[in-house]
Structure 1
């Protein structure tokens, strides 16, 4: 959807020519988010702004959906590209509805159509249309204004969006919420997005691909997982940080390391059977008890089963934690640490036990990509999608 062909920008200054972007070549497939990442002054924002011609390239070309934009009228180009900036840039003298519908009105949309589009977008960004559309930007919080900025960029349903540190000025809690909402929207909208960030954690969370810049040059262009597992050089490695293996926790879902091999007992089983099952499956502290629907009903402690006679239904504790198949490994690791446990039951969308995640599997998977880069690949046995 977006292709940059030797895109270059040279600024003339009093001290001479400064190359801000040096022959940038990259492609962003349709429906993906590409994060432009790097330290201040590395050329990422200049590259972004050359796409909608806020900064005019010195040389090179920008192609959108296969079309060379060099000869395209600037206003036409910009009206077909959504643009979101950190400073938001809402018009203070316009209502929220007028801000959102600015481009559709310029394009000559019917009034009923653009008003309905505004309501649709407000619902999409989780703001009540009746409560907010007639307000002015000054009446909204910074986080709410940022959501309106995103809605305005989406108003004319552009195929391409450019986002220049759009969530950088928002506090961490609201920032995480808006990021999550935006990713949910993206799953449905499938826009092609170029997104400038200086935050590696944001890049890993938001991006399908990450482009790392340094001094005007594109140093590495990879998926987040490939970037973390195999940085191209010492600069990229240092920029990612010494904890890059831990950053992969956000990228891997529990289903990728969960196994179906899990021992359970029913409420009607004896404690003697619970102890035997614990031995069979190597559980040192407890075994999971499930009900008739195969849903977690409690934990039978090994110490109780060793010293007491009776049935599981009379001697169990609450399950300390569970994970869903689509929870990421950061969630898994946090729960294990919080409850001082080395395994967790995995449940499906109906709350039924479908496997388990172990601490051993988690650490094995995290290290597997790094071992593979060193020529020692090892495999895991994830739950299938069936």
Structure 2
């Protein structure tokens, strides 16, 4: 959907020419979010602004859906590109409805259509239309204004959206909420998005692809998983941080690591039965008790099963936590640390036990990618020396 072909910007300054973007070439497939990532002054915002010609390229071309935009009317180009900036940029003298419908009006939509579109946009960003459409930006919180900025960019249903640190000015709690809401919207809208950020955690969470910039150059363009597992050079590796292996926890879902081999007992089983099953799963010090619907209702510990007689229903502890198949490994690791356990039961959307996830399985899954990369990086000579 978006293709940059040797896109370059050179600024003339009193001290000479400054190359802000140096022959940037990349493609963003339709329906994906591409994050432009890097330190301040690396050229990512300049690159974004050249796409909608807020900054005029010195050389190179931009293609949108295969069409060269070089000869396209600038205003027409911008009306077909949604644009969201960190400072939000709402018109203070316009109501929320008027802000959202600016571009549809310019495109000649009739009144009934653009007013209905405003209500649709408000519902999409989880804000009640009747409560907010007639208000002015000054009457909204910063987080609410940011949502309106996103709604305005989406109002004319553009195929491409450009976002320049759109959530950067929002406090961490609201930022996380808005990021989550935006990702939910993207699942329905399937827009092609270029998104500037300097926050590696945001990039990993939001991006299908990440482009890392340094001093005007595109250093690496990869999926988040490839970027974390195989940084191209020392700069990318240092920018990602020493905890890049842990950052991959955000990218892996429980369903990728879960094992369906899990021992369970029912309330009517004896503690002797429970102990025998615990021994079958030697790395665990407890076993899960489930009801007739195979929902977790308790834990039987090895210590209790070994020293007590009776039935499981009379000697169980509460289940400390469960995880869903669509949870990420970061949540799992947090729960394991909080509950001082090395395994957790996994449940489906109906709360039925479908397996377990262990600390050992998580470690193996994360380490396998790095071991594979190290093997690929070995040259024949290096491998011989090894």
C-alpha distance in 1, partners of 2:277/2:111? Answer: 68
> Aligned-pair distance for 1:117?
0.9
Q: Aligned residue for 2:161?
A: 161
Alignment of 1:255-334 (within 5 A): 255-334=255-334
Q: Aligned residue for 1:224?
A: 224
C-alpha distance in 1, partners of 2:320/2:241? Answer: 33
Aligned to 1:278, the other structure's residue is in SS state helix
Q: Aligned residue for 1:239?
A: 239
Aligned to 1:375, the other structure's residue is in SS state helix
Instruction: Kindly report the root-mean-square deviation, in angstroms, between the aligned alpha carbons of the 2 structures.
Output: 1.0
C-alpha distance in 1, partners of 2:24/2:251? Answer: 27
> Aligned-pair distance for 1:107?
0.7
> Aligned-pair distance for 1:229?
0.4
C-alpha distance in 1, partners of 2:375/2:95? Answer: 60
> Aligned-pair distance for 1:285?
2.2
1:2-24 CA-to-partner distances (Å, cap 9, x unmatched) read 00000000101101111110110
C-alpha distance in 2, partners of 1:242/1:304? Answer: 42
Q: Aligned residue for 2:137?
A: 137
C-alpha distance in 1, partners of 2:118/2:336? Answer: 44
Q: Aligned residue for 2:338?
A: 338
> Aligned-pair distance for 1:41?
0.7
Q: Aligned residue for 1:189?
A: 189
Q: Does residue 1:23 correspond to 2:19, yes or no?
A: no
C-alpha distance in 1, partners of 2:363/2:121? Answer: 42
The TM-score normalised by the length of structure 2 is: 0.97
> Aligned-pair distance for 1:284?
3.9
C-alpha distance in 1, partners of 2:201/2:52? Answer: 27
Q: Aligned residue for 1:364?
A: 364
> Aligned-pair distance for 1:230?
0.3
Q: Does residue 1:175 correspond to 2:175, yes or no?
A: yes
Q: Aligned residue for 1:14?
A: 14
C-alpha distance in 1, partners of 2:376/2:365? Answer: 13
Aligned length in residues: 377
> Aligned-pair distance for 1:346?
0.5
1:184-243 CA-to-partner distances (Å, cap 9, x unmatched) read 000110000000000000000000000000111000000000000000000100110111
> Aligned-pair distance for 1:282?
1.5
Aligned to 2:267, the other structure's residue is in SS state coil
> Aligned-pair distance for 1:376?
8.2
Aligned to 2:235, the other structure's residue is in SS state helix
> Aligned-pair distance for 1:322?
0.4
C-alpha distance in 2, partners of 1:308/1:40? Answer: 64
Aligned to 2:293, the other structure's residue is in SS state coil
C-alpha distance in 2, partners of 1:95/1:250? Answer: 39
C-alpha distance in 2, partners of 1:114/1:260? Answer: 51
> Aligned-pair distance for 1:287?
0.5
C-alpha distance in 2, partners of 1:197/1:37? Answer: 5
> Aligned-pair distance for 1:283?
4.8
C-alpha distance in 1, partners of 2:376/2:287? Answer: 34
C-alpha distance in 2, partners of 1:78/1:186? Answer: 21
C-alpha distance in 2, partners of 1:113/1:278? Answer: 64
1:128-154 CA-to-partner distances (Å, cap 9, x unmatched) read 111111100000000000000000000
Aligned to 1:236, the other structure's residue is in SS state helix
C-alpha distance in 1, partners of 2:105/2:245? Answer: 48
> Aligned-pair distance for 1:317?
1.3
